Amino acid sequence: MIGILLAWGVMGIVPMLREALWSLQVASVYAEKVPADEAALRRTIARLEGQLAARHPKGAYLVVSTTENRFWLYVGRRLVREGRCSTGSYVYLKGSGGQSWLFQTPRGQFFVQSKIVNPVWHKPDWAFVEEGKPIPPPGSPERYEYGVLGRYALAIGNGYLIHGTLYQRLLGLPVTHGCVRLGDADLEVVYRTLPIGAPVYIY
Partner 1 sequence: MKRAREALQRVGELGKQILGRRSFWVRALLLPGLVLLWLVVLPIMLVGPSEKVPSAEKNAADSLQMLQAFLQQRLEIASLRQVALVVDLPARRLALEVAGLPVREVSILGSHLAIPPALRQIATTTRPFVGQTYRASIPRYPITVVEAPSDTLQAQQQPPIWPPQEDSGGVWVYLEFDRGLELWLLSPPASLGERLERWCFVGHTRLWREVRWLYRLLWQRPATLPMPIVLELPPADIRAIFRALPDSARLALRY
Contact footprint for partner 1 (CB under 8 A): 1, 4-5, 7-8, 10-12, 14-15, 17-19, 21-23, 27, 29-34, 36, 38, 41-42, 44-45, 48-49, 51-52, 55-57, 61, 63, 65-68, 89-96, 102, 104, 107-109, 129-133, 173-175, 199, 201-203
Cβ atoms of 73 and 81 within 8 Å: the answer is yes
Least Å distance between CB 8 and partner 1?
A: 6
H/E stretch holding 140 reads none
Alpha-carbon distance 197 to 35, whole Å?
Answer: 45
Alpha-carbon distance 81 to 191, whole Å?
Answer: 12
Q: Which is nearer to partner 1, 48 or 196 (CB)?
A: 48
Least Å distance between CB 116 and partner 1?
A: 24
φ and ψ at residue 66, rounded to 5 degrees: -85, -20
Least Å distance between CB 118 and partner 1?
A: 27
Q: Which is nearer to partner 1, 132 or 139 (CB)?
A: 132
Least Å distance between CB 117 and partner 1?
A: 28
Q: Which is nearer to partner 1, 116 or 127 (CB)?
A: 127
- Output the CA torsion 191→196→74→88 (10° steps): 70
Q: Which is nearer to partner 1, 19 or 158 (CB)?
A: 19
Least Å distance between CB 147 and partner 1?
A: 21
Q: Which is nearer to partner 1, 87 or 182 (CB)?
A: 87
First to last CA, the chain: 45
Cβ atoms of 164 and 187 within 8 Å: the answer is yes
Alpha-carbon distance 64 to 86, whole Å?
Answer: 10
